[in-house]
Chains A and B, each alone.
Chain A
Amino acid sequence: MTRWTPDPTFYPSPREAVTAPAEKLAYVAAFDRTASRPDAIVVLDTDPDSPDYGSVVGWTDLPHLGDELHHFGWNACSSALCPTAPHPHVERRYLIVPGLRSSRIHVLDTQPDPRQPQVIKVIGPEELAKRAGYSRPHTVHCGPDGIYLSALGGADGAEGPGGIAILDHTTFEVRGAWEADRGPQFLAYDVWWHLTQDVLVTSEWGTPSMIEDGIIGELLLGRRYGHAIHFWDLAKRRHVQRVDLGDQYQMPLELRPAHDPTKSYGFVGVVISVEDLSASIWLWHRDGDAWAVTKVIDIPAEPADPADLPDLLKPFGAVPPLVTDIDLSVDDRFLYVSCWGTGELRQYDVSDPLHPVQTGSVHLGGIVRRTAHPSAPDEALAGGPQMVEVSRDGRRVYVSNSLYGAWDDQFYPDGVGAWLAKLDVDVDAGGLTPDERFFPHGDEFRGLRVHQTRLQGGDASSDSYCFP
């Protein structure tokens, strides 16, 4: 897998990455909630000139049952151009696909036929446990020196601490835990970094028992889920600072640092405030030598008839937006915010990161609204925009509708269904429009639920750049 010239999908800077050609294929993690059939990586055709545009053109079943595929990522990306460990002649070729429930890690080769990825390696939960002391692998990032994989749980049934495991670049073996000193960090979820500033950031969800059977109302109201983010020294692997958002802000999940490596800020989405069910977006930024957070977006809950609400929400008479994913365009201009509860994808212009301006909104699904897709106006949709992925040029946004098996069942008890939508972006004025030609849904996914999407060649949440 060494090349004579750099992998053409690697870009030294975000400025250049936005000129990347449009993706022809998208990979989607799909899982069977009943664990009676294998989970799969589904391949979608995203080439508008293809007769198969917007439909499933490839399908790779995984070898076991009950994995619950969630997030996944590439083995290598633009960070391979970074000067500390430069090796841009590797290929962006393998998908690292963890099972969040099974703790198995799959390696899929997307060559020679990108439409039919092949499973070439499966790392069992015992190897992750033995070598790194973790379980429930979650976020995958291609680092310059290895593959970083966050994990929510501890080994051998321990609830935690969760943390980061490092996988070898070439053998994909688990090398060990990343942390040299974790300080007060216990809960884990997402991880990303300011690579050129030797800063790593992590967020918090809950331990396996707090999430695997659904959200636990008492724990939520007791403010027991995560509510802080952590800053680390990326080079020394040491905890530097814990920044508490306040315990009413439960579950700061997705971390989206600025792609411009000279910038020192990023966004984190908070699922819910227990005080008013609102969701929020916070900006982390430097404050002298330390880090600070500032709430920059607040999305209120929408009042609703309790009869229309699932049991968990009936006492509140309102639908929480439930911001469960966010994504930042590669040019750092637009932030996309998934409101999975209310069924909305919002677009904000964050050119001034402290003062976002909403520039677009699309409704699809939602606990009460059930907004249909324009190409199938008679089909009420369950679920909502959840995982959101932005193309490198920022012109296309893909959303899928499932959050996490047990949580889907709680918030959409009549069934969450399966659908994926593509939205076109007006990159000049801002604004979002659903593409009527791109709406794979229902039986196309063979009864599986769809979670994260990864775009061929990379996307807005896969690559890190060392040059401005």
Chain B
Amino acid sequence: MTVATWATLAALGAFHGLNPAMGWLFAVARGLQERSRMALLRSLLPIAAGHLASVGIVAALVTATRSVTASTALAVVGGVVLVAFGLWRLLSERHFRWAGMRLSAAQLAGWSFLMSSAHGAGLMLLPVLVAEPVPGGHSGHLTAAPVGALPGLAAAGVHTVAMLGTALVIAMLVYQVFGVGVLRRAWFNVDRLWAGVLVAAGLVTLIRA
């Protein structure tokens, strides 16, 4: 992968980390409930793990399948899915509630996984992953799939580290410096932007295909 690819993955990670709905707000709430910065920090790790799982599955699938199937078909299908999903997110106002506020680390990771999946966090990486050249050598052989998934997992890892870093910085700033009052003024509608990015990612994928 190129430097630009890694940078894009990290930038998308930062974008995901920025979204309060992806978990940093949950971490801040738990920190404030228990009046403990440690509670905040302890919450962010399972949240990042859940996000990694959600993004990792998509990324691994994409890179693994790409090494065994025609890339154009994948890109077209992926692009269409992205655009449709982005439009659905844009138009849908439904919100799911999977869990309460009192969660174990495992439940928190599960919540984060569902939240990321429902928002199509992994799908957003599609144009980056599809743009990558097919790994040479065993193209067309199913045995290549496990190896082919590795770049995807690496991509998800880089993405998640950027996501966690951003979430950590924002969560700490809100917890220590600004206070939650800043939410009222600074919380712009990430959901709409998010949906827009999904649509854009889909279009980019389709054009490149």
> Does A81 sit within 8 A of B, measured CB to CB?
yes
A4 to B33, CA, bound (A): 28
Question: Which residue of chain A lies nearest to B101 when distances are taken between CB atoms in the complex?
Answer: A196
- Could you tell me if A144 and B97 are in contact, using CB atoms closer than 8 angstroms? yes
B94 closest partner in A (C-beta): A170
A90, A170, A196 interface centre (most CB from chain B within 10 Å) = A196
Contacting A at CB under 8 A, from B185-209, are 185, 187-189, 191-192
Q: Which of B101, B111, B183 contacts A88 (CB 8 A)?
A: B183
List A contacts of B191 (CB < 8 A): 2, 87, 89
Q: A83 contacts the other chain (Cβ, under 8 Å)?
A: yes
Asked if A6 CB lies within 8 Å of chain B CBs, one says yes
| A351 interface hit (Cβ, 8 Å) | no
A34: CB under 8 A from chain B? no
Is A197 interfacial (CB 8 A cutoff)? Answer: yes
Which residues of chain A come closer than 8 Å to B61, judged between CB atoms?
none
Contacting pair A196 B33 (CB below 8 A) = yes
The verdict on A195 contacting chain B, using a C-beta distance below 8 Å, is yes
B141 on interface, CB distance cutoff 8 Å: no
Query: Main secondary structure on chain A at its contact with chain B?
Result: loop
**Interface check A262, CB cutoff 8 A:** yes
Beyond A85-B95, A145-B95, whether A6 also contacts B183 by CB under 8 A is: yes
Query: Whole-angstrom distance between the alpha carbons of A464 and B62 in the complex?
Result: 43
Q: Is there an interface contact between A12 and B93, defined as CB atoms closer than 8 Å?
A: no
Contact between A169 and B95, CB atoms less than 8 A apart: yes
Determine which residue in B35, B98, B189 has the highest number of CB atoms from chain A within 10 A of its CB, and name it.
B189
- Nearest CB of chain A from residue B133's CB, rounded to whole Å: 39
> In residues 417-468 of chain A, which contact B (Cβ within 8 Å)?
466-468
Decide: B188 and A83 in contact? CB cutoff 8 A. no
A235–B100 touching, CB < 8 Å: yes
User: Which of B20, B33, B93, B188 has a CB less than 8 Å from the CB of A170?
Assistant: B93
With A144-B97, A170-B93, A261-B33 in contact, do A86 and B25 touch (Cβ < 8 Å)? yes
Chain A contacts with B in 1-60, Cβ cutoff 8 A: 1-6, 8, 10-13, 16
Query: Judging by beta carbons under 8 Å apart, are A86 and B21 in contact?
Result: yes
A198 within 8 A of B: yes
Interface residue? A388 (CB, 8 A): no
The interface centre, meaning the residue of A8, A83, A234 with most chain B CB atoms within 10 A of its CB, is: A83
Any A CB within 8 A of the CB of B26: yes
Contact of B185 among A5, A195, A197, A261 (CB under 8 A): A5
Inside 8 A of A88's CB, which chain B residues have their CB?
Answer: 183, 187
Cα-based distance from A344 to B57 in the complex (angstroms): 64
B20 vs chain A, min Cβ distance (A): 6
Contact A6 B95 (CB under 8 A): no
B residues less than 8 Å from A467 (CB atoms): 28-29, 32, 180
CB A15 to nearest CB in B, in angstroms, measures: 9
- Interface presence of B177 (CB below 8 A): no
A375 beta carbon closer than 8 Å to chain B: no
Chain B residues, CB < 8 A from A1: 93
Contact B33 A84 (CB under 8 A): no
Q: Contact between A83 and B28 (Cβ–Cβ < 8 Å)?
A: yes
Complex: A179 Cα to B124 Cα, angstroms: 37
CA distance A236 to B107 in the complex (A): 13
Q: Which residue in chain A gives the minimum CB-CB distance to B20?
A: A86
Q: How far is the CA of A458 from the CA of B154 in the complex (A)?
A: 48
With A2-B191, A196-B101 given, can you name 11 additional A-B contacts, CB distance below 8 Å? A5-B187, A12-B181, A12-B184, A16-B181, A84-B111, A85-B95, A86-B21, A87-B93, A197-B101, A235-B100, A466-B101
Question: Can you list 9 A-B contacts with CB-CB less than 8 angstroms, sorted by A residue number?
Answer: A2-B192, A3-B189, A8-B184, A84-B111, A88-B183, A90-B93, A169-B93, A170-B93, A196-B33
